[in-house]
Structure 1
């Protein structure tokens, strides 16, 4: 198991040989970079610019964690595309105690090559900085391209002399330990699990479905449609939500979008999802959740961090009957009654 938040804070500080002294906060602007050379900074980068709220939640949680536990540092957020433009100005404005942190997530591998190549650009460009890869999942496909990309990644990571790697699942942890025996590797939960967005004031009704429709989906399109139809025939109030909202989100709009989604979750009696952050959002909002496996190890191993919560149920081999029974049991266990038709 991973460390507690307080243990993680202490161990990270020890790893960096740093001490916190006074609070400061700045937002990044190109004009301010020269003055930042006099102040120590945590450059939080690899931030997303797309529509996946799971990744934006990771970025937000990472920022909150660092701001809270390392108040002596300016937290400088740099989007994934901005890092190419701002890498040199940031290096010219370096303070001796600067640190680079890359947000975690599920884009370590060959499925999302732009994100992986950007990670490697950061590792190469800031090779002389202490660097932390926050909790991530790795997945390189068993293809010729996947093997090539894996070799490239291993070579790049191994060239950094002060890179701390954090894995958010056992498979990734074992991969990191195997390929980087001389580097520090920790196993830690997804950063979003450091948040608490629960509320006792919400009135909960109905079922929400939050299912993948992309390359990471375990269910086929036909299976998703059948499951949706089955749930709609069983319960009076059924809604559909997604963590990919179809419009660009950045660090200035992410909290508004996240709060809107979390509020919707807190109004549901039960959520059915095969998304890792669908599951994690339910955990931090205390929403009963039926978790379906994804195509890889990410969801099933990620469930390890929330398995102790009585309102979370994992289905390793989901089918209509199993989902219906799991939803019914969660409603009954939590003392909430679903509005079943007929």
Structure 2
């Protein structure tokens, strides 16, 4: 991953320097904020304000990455609700080299329309800024609404003159290349994969299940419950976790919540998950993981970035027998490593 992101840093810096050389068309305002106008800023926006820790991990990782690789810039974090209120003051406080970064994730499409509409608002409001869409997954459903929302999104993206698009999977990359032939389009891994949350001292026990119960689930409710019962009958220690924790999280509480979840993962011998960030969290904590596909391409193509890790297994057809076999294999491997270490 480090090579990929070193390339990302170099290319992004080159792209940004190239773009900011062009004349910037904007009118100065007396209302601009004096404490910000003399400081180069990266406005990191579309931050979540809900309970999905996967999205909060993307926001946290994006902020850490930008702070590390662009130390001359002040990072201004703006969540979705704040953006509608702060767009004008931020433009009043503009420095000529300001940049807008939109965090990535899986909300590009018609499944999460509020997030998608906010993305389009940002692109329209900051049309004279360089805008970077960080690694995202696009999914527009094959419905009248989905086709309508796709046309709307394509029009909004096309109208931005200085937009860099990043896809975190091949399907999204092809979609972006097809519809935006005149824009920069890169394929990059999910930003959370820039993190390293391993721990030297850890004792692992049991199986943790992290399975979806929403519209993105591949398993039906009946099949999910059958799988859970089967695993509980087979293994003595089985726990349940979720990346949607049922309470509001913001940028002041996200690291505490993420650290709690990562600690749980580091204590598990094997995790079974159909969540993209369940898989990615296992990758950054070096936790053995059995990955079940989701209803779309997101998990299966996201697996491409972690397929080289020996403790990750993808099941395209997650039968009970296949899941049990994969868990057993990881248990056996981790047990052998424990004996060798002892």
Aligned mates of 1:80, 1:336 — CA distance in 2: 47
Verify the 8 A CA contact 1:170 1:301 in the aligned structure 2.
Answer: yes
1:23 corresponds in structure 2 to: none
Q: Secondary structure at the match of 1:95?
A: coil
Q: Secondary structure at the match of 2:12?
A: helix
1:110 corresponds in structure 2 to: 110
1:190 corresponds in structure 2 to: 190
User: Pairwise mapping of residues 1-342 of structure 1 onto structure 2 (< 5 A)?
Assistant: 4-17=4-17, 33-335=33-335
Displacement after TM superposition at 1:337 (Å): 9.3
Aligned mates of 2:58, 2:32 — CA distance in 1: 26
For each residue in 1:317-336, what CA deviation from the matched residue of structure 2 results, as whole angstroms up to 9, or x when unmatched?
A: 10100000000011112335
Q: Secondary structure at the match of 1:244?
A: coil
Verify the 8 A CA contact 2:132 2:165 in the aligned structure 1.
Answer: yes
Aligned mates of 2:284, 2:307 — CA distance in 1: 13
Displacement after TM superposition at 1:171 (Å): 0.0
Aligned mates of 1:296, 1:4 — CA distance in 2: 25
Displacement after TM superposition at 1:88 (Å): 0.2
Displacement after TM superposition at 1:2 (Å): 10
Aligned mates of 1:130, 1:43 — CA distance in 2: 11
Q: Secondary structure at the match of 1:224?
A: helix
Verify the 8 A CA contact 1:2 1:188 in the aligned structure 2.
Answer: no
For each residue in 1:193-223, what CA deviation from the matched residue of structure 2 results, as whole angstroms up to 9, or x when unmatched?
A: 0000011211000000000000000000011
Aligned mates of 1:58, 1:337 — CA distance in 2: 31
Verify the 8 A CA contact 2:41 2:75 in the aligned structure 1.
Answer: yes
Normalised TM-score (structure 2): 0.93
Unaligned runs of 5+ in 2: 19-30
Unaligned runs of 5+ in 1: 19-30
Displacement after TM superposition at 1:7 (Å): 1.2
